Each structure stands twice: as structure tokens, then as C-alpha cells.
Amino acid sequence: MRRIIQSKKLQHVRYDVRGPILVEAQRLEAEGHKILKLNIGNTAPFGFEAPEAIVADMVHNLPDSQGYADSKGIYSARTAVAQYYQSRGLRDTTVEDIWIGNGVSELITMVLQAFIDDGNEILVPAPDYPLWTGAVSLAGGTPVHYRCDESNGWNPDLADIEAKITENTHALVIINPNNPTGAVYSEETVKALVDIARRHDLVLMSDEIYEKIIFGDAVHHHTATYAGDDVLCLTFSGLSKAYRVCGYRAGWVMVSGPTHLAEDFLEGLTLLANMRMCANVPAQHAIQTALGGYQSITELVGEGGRFYEQSMLAARMLNEIPGVSCVEPKGALYCFPRLDPEVYPIKDDEAFVIDLLRSKKILVTHGTGFNWFEPDHFRLVTLPDTAMLTEAIERIADYLASIRV
């Protein structure tokens, strides 16, 4: 019999957040080891529960959620999303500008499948959330990674973006607040990114899933606010992180700008939405309640709140380890520390995190898994409570002391 092999379309697709390191963690668990998983931003295992009103509303609507819904999403959910953006200055947003999906991840894939032709180049930040790179490749495009500048708070290197634009460049991806670095871009930076898109006739794709998870004096600025009427902008967000319902898979994309010039593309997006019939219906009923109700996320991101205190603790402890530096996150749920190559001459960062896993039973993700250029970073999820997080970073410090030169 002939061997059955994976499609060549997967040749350049990686998702190391759940790759070989997770397989090794599962092997160790099967042997009876307890693994602290700091590789993925999954809120529920760390004691974060959805607001009761969201759960109650979804349960209340279960009897009416048994059939297919409109492929773009139920009307109440799309209305709530449209009104959310209207309240943030995007007053022309309508229900017809909203597509609901099974989380932002599905919508990223659908948008790129509808948008990309073979060979199209898409500018993606490095480091990035690796789904963007993988989905661009899977759609037949070429991801071109622009550098974010660690010495400048992980803000995008605007000159590097400009230098990488070619006649084949079709879109610019922005992840703000950023996963994995925790950067939150200033108004000046967002305006500059929009200006680049405007001058080079690029579509903007703005991943804003962490928009409500920001710390201190950081302010989130919607890319679409500055894109105006002359730059097509697709804004991605959802309930997973801010409302602690990762498993509900409730996300959306909002399209703004010169939509009359994008009718053919949007027809393609609707076609793909129709092909998957509809997004999961019960979770869509949670959207209106989430966006319109009490915003409990405010308590978590302010001083004294778990998201804030755990993020600050992690950055502080990491910076105390010899040879480690970590830009203090301004948002999101992660730290992305750097290991000084003079102190830790790591050549293979995936091997490094697997050895850390085996030695200390701590699961993190290597920096090249986020398409960073050098093997000198790793990402740490900051969701554990302060006691657990302290123990985890102490274990990491012990391991690093054993390999320090």
C-alpha cells in the first residue's frame, strides 16, 4: 500500500504553541509527572471563570440554538458588535460590516483564504501569533516578517516594514495588544502603521483580541479609527480572553473603510462563511450580554487585579535572573524574556524548552515558535496565581543557573 502523507500545503505551516513540546509534556504526564503548562493563554485551568450573566444568557437561549443561524452570525450578536465600535468613534459601522466566527482563529483563516492568491506577500510582525504566519502560508501566500524592536518596547520597526514592501505586498498585519510581547502601541505608532498602508495601498488586518487587557497608563487605539474611509481595515476581536470563555469560540471581524471597492472580496468571505454553515450558535448569544453588561475585566487589569499583579510579578522576577531581560508587558497575558547569548549560548531554543520541561516540569514556548529571528527568547503565560507563578519562575531560574556559562 502507498504511504499516506500530509498535503504539501502544510510544508511551511507551524503551530509550536501546541507542537512537539506539548507532545513531550503529554508523555511526561502519562508517566505520572505533574506539568505546569505555561504555553497557552487558556484562562479556565487557572481559576478564571466567565461572568455569571454570560453563562446564564447562553443557557437561557439553548432551546433556540438548535438550528443553523445566518452564516454571518445572529442579528443580536452582530448588532451588539456594531454598536460597540460605534461607541468607540466608528459611527458608520453597521450590522452588515460584521461576521461572527468560531473564535478569531477561524476568522483569520477564512479572511486569508478569501483574500490571498498564490504568491501574494503579507507583512506579519515578528514575533507574531503563529496562526497568522501559518494561515498565510496555507492560503498560498508568503508571510514576510517585519521586526518589532525590543529596545523600543517591542514597537514595530517602521523602517523595516517600509524596506520589505514589494509590488507583491497586499496587506499589513498588526497585533495590538501584542501576543507574545505584551506591547500596546501608542497612538503615534498606530497612525504611522496606517500611513504606511495608505501610501502603499495595503489592506490592514488588525488583531485586537487583547484590547481590554491593558495595564497602567497604556491605552488601546483601534486601527480602524485612523484608517478612515480610504484604507480597508479588518478588525478582529472576540470574547475568549477578556470574558474568560476561550472554549465558547465566539469572535468577530469588523470591516471598515472603502467597502465599495472590496465587494468582490467580501462576497468571497461570505461564500466561505456559507460553506461552514454558521458559527456555533449558543456562544453567539453571549456576545450581546458580554459587550453590554458590567465589564468585570476592569477589576482584573487594574492594580490589585490578578492579570495586572501576575504580569508585573513575572516581569520583575524574570528581570532578576542573571542574563535575562524582559520588557514589562503593557497588556495581554504573556512575558517574552530574552536570554543573553553571552550567558546562555543556546543554538536550538526548542531543545532548550524541552530540556527545561524534562528538568523542571515547566512548559513554556520557544521564541522561534513565534517566528522570532534568533533562538534567544521564550514566552511565558502569566495566568497562574502569584504563588504558583513564583514557584514556576524560581524553577526556571534554577534551571538557567545550571546551564549558565
pLDDT tens column, 344-367: 999 999 999 999 999 999 999 999
Q: Of 54-58, 71-75, 271-275, give the lowest mean pLDDT range.
A: 54-58
d(CA 157, CA 123): 12
Mean pLDDT computed over 14-19: 67
Taking the CA of residue 333 as centre, how many other CA atoms within 13 Å lie in the half-sphere pointing to its CB? 25
Amino acid at 2: R
As a whole number of angstroms, the distance between CA 196 and CA 212 comes to: 26
Residue 2 binned pLDDT confidence (cut-offs 50, 70, 90): confident
Residue 23 has pLDDT above 90, yes or no: no
Mean of the per-residue pLDDT values of the chain? 94
Q: Which of 310, 298, 329, 323 is nearest to 384 (CA)?
A: 310
- Count of H-run helices and E-run strands, the chain: 14, 15
One DSSP character per residue, 159-183 reads HHHHHT--TTEEEEEEESS-TTT--
- pLDDT of 18 reads 65
How far is the C-alpha of 24 from the C-alpha of 165, rounded, in Å? 39
C-alpha cell at 389: 507563578
d(CA 301, CA 310): 10
Q: What is the pTM of this model?
A: 0.93
Q: Taking a C-beta distance cutoff of 8 angstroms, is the pair 250, 284 a contact?
A: yes
* In the predicted structure, residue 9 carries a pLDDT above the cut 80: no
Q: How far apart are CA 348 and CA 344, in angstroms?
A: 11
Smallest CA-to-CA distance from 173 within 221, 114, 129, 140 is with 129
Residue 333, pLDDT > 90, answer: yes
pLDDT tens for each residue of 105-163: 999 999 999 999 998 999 999 999 999 999 999 999 999 999 999 999 999 999 999 99
